Amino acid sequence: MSAPRSLKLQATAAVASPSAAGTPRLTGLRGACSRPTRRLRCSATNAGASTEMSVAPLDWAGKSLEELRSLPDSDTFCLMALSPLDGRYDRFVKDLMPFFSEFGLIRYRVLIEVKWLLKLSQIPEITEVPPFSKEAQVFLDAIVQDFCIDDAKEVKKIEKITNHDVKAVEYFLKQRCSSNPEIAKVSEFFHFGCTSEDINNLSHALALKEGVNGVMFPAMVDICRAMCSLAIQNSAYPMLARTHGQPASPTTMGKEMANFAARLSDIGNSFSEVKILGKFAGAVGNYNAHVVAYPEVDWPKVAEEFVRSLGLQFNPYVTQIEPHDYISKLFNLFTQFNNVLTDFDRDMWSYISLGYFKQIPKAGEVGSSTMPHKINPIDFENSEGNLLLANATLSAISMKLPISRMQRDLTDSTVLRNLGVGLGHSLLAYIATMRGISKVQVNESRLTEDLEQTWEVLAEPIQTVMRRYGIPEPYEKLKELTRGQAVTKDSMQQFVDGLDIPEKARSQLSKLRPHSYTGLADDLAKDIEKWVDLESAFKIK
């Protein structure tokens, strides 16, 4: 096997976020969900040496996608796929494939096994695994860096014999290293002291951290930015509000967009509180076999160092499994974000139905197979449907994973293979929402028309001013005038003219119009950037 010239054992990844054409962006908004170069250090305890593993923004995910696309007849596979995520919609969610596919899981397992062998070589008490030469380290590094679909296929061939997926990875590594005498000599230390869940829990944790940080969060940040842009651009467009579906005090279109931006960014801030945890404590979490083999080693310390070297947080109290509580927290936040986005999609659908937003026609696109005039709000509908599927999966995973019989049962294993399903439907929804946002523009004339037909909304400010000046039963008087009645500009003016209030107050009420009765909505919309801080939101450290 050819070896790269430099030793760079890759452990984390970052991929470019999917972006929709025409996405509104704000240059002044704080934060960009940046993914700077990260460095992991694994301290060696022998001979005062240290192995630094520099981690640049990785290209392994992109390379694996290119390799997948180069396979023959992928179109036929898409046509025959059971899940539309892998078929009709694969072009939208493909960036998640390297992290949550079978290939991705196998690659992460290979990475963990290789890094664990390197870690063992750095423990002085384990004399049977001496420090590796640079050439041997380069060889091991190449197994991870060059891991490809053909390698994953080889692991699957071995699994057909072992009927055990993690053991198949161990055997694959032993076979791959048989040509290197230095590594072959210690190849039995692959998977040393490990139960399968030691490997699996770290693999899923890395997939979640890298896939969420690299793919999901950038798409979510794009949505928040787009909503902020809608808020600022449309801050001054007055709009009839509706509570219970009925005319209510006017607002502005921008203020309603700002409401969603603030809600979503607030959820985004909570993601930083989630700790991606890992365990590495053996069959039932007590380091049983470790202590028998090497009683002089501080195994909890070694395990913590190893887990943290991967960029994960360490969970010291576990059974055979890491209990997955953090995944529940993470997916609950995604579910909450998706709920708010569903609210947004439905409001946008309603605004389009009312004519408050016009949709920009796309050349060649058909709205209806029989009605040529139609431009349907299909993007917001597509998003809403996928958010429903996403939350069904995310909620099921969140409720199931923390529950395991005694020290372990296998019900979590098959469930964990669906992490990418809930996230995939979420990503598909995010992209659809962004596509929908890019097609809408405010219909000012329709907004004005609705406001001019609802003079009754001025009953609120008039009765409030009447209260100020001590007029008895102001609410009841306006109720009698407006509730269930046809209210016009003239009838409202006649009522104001008959009020026993100071002339200045009467003059102000006479000048009031539905389109000017928006309070501080314009200012609130323009100030959204002060409240949406994406610099600290949508990050998992």
Q: Among residues 244, 369, 373, 445, which one is catalytic?
A: 244
How far is residue 313's CA from residue 54's CA, in Å, rounded to a whole number? 19
Q: Are strands 277-278 and 313-314 parallel, antiparallel or unpaired?
A: parallel
How far is residue 348's CA from residue 223's CA, in Å, rounded to a whole number? 14
Q: Among residues 179, 368, 507, 516, which one is catalytic?
A: 368
Which DSSP string do the residues of 87-146 spell out, in sequence order?
Answer: TTTHHHHGGGHHHHSHHHHHHHHHHHHHHHHHHHTT-TT-TTSPPPPHHHHHHHHHHHHT
How far is residue 40's CA from residue 237's CA, in Å, rounded to a whole number? 51
Q: What is the dihedral of CA 216, 220, 222, 225, to 10 degrees?
A: -160
Closest among 153, 181, 186 to 169, alpha carbons compared: 153
Burial 357-375 (b: 16+ CB within 10 A, else e): bbbeeeeeeeeeeeeeeeb
Phi, psi (deg, nearest 5) at residue 196: -55, -35
The answer to whether 539 and 217 have CB atoms below 8 angstroms apart is yes
Task: Assign 12 to helix, strand or coil.
Answer: coil
Concerning whether 368 is annotated as a catalytic residue, the answer is yes
Single-letter residue type at 86: D
Here the tokens at position 513 are 């119009």
How far is residue 103's CA from residue 165's CA, in Å, rounded to a whole number? 12
How far is residue 375's CA from residue 258's CA, in Å, rounded to a whole number? 26
Concerning whether 373 is annotated as a catalytic residue, the answer is no
Task: Assign 321 to helix, strand or coil.
Answer: coil
How far is residue 3's CA from residue 137's CA, in Å, rounded to a whole number? 10
How far is residue 176's CA from residue 72's CA, in Å, rounded to a whole number? 26
The answer to whether 333 and 274 have CB atoms below 8 angstroms apart is yes
Beta-bridge partners for 277: 313
Closest among 113, 407, 191 to 286, alpha carbons compared: 407
Q: Are strands 50-55 and 38-43 parallel, antiparallel or unpaired?
A: antiparallel
The answer to whether 333 and 282 have CB atoms below 8 angstroms apart is no
Query: Mind telling me the catalytic residues?
Result: 244, 368
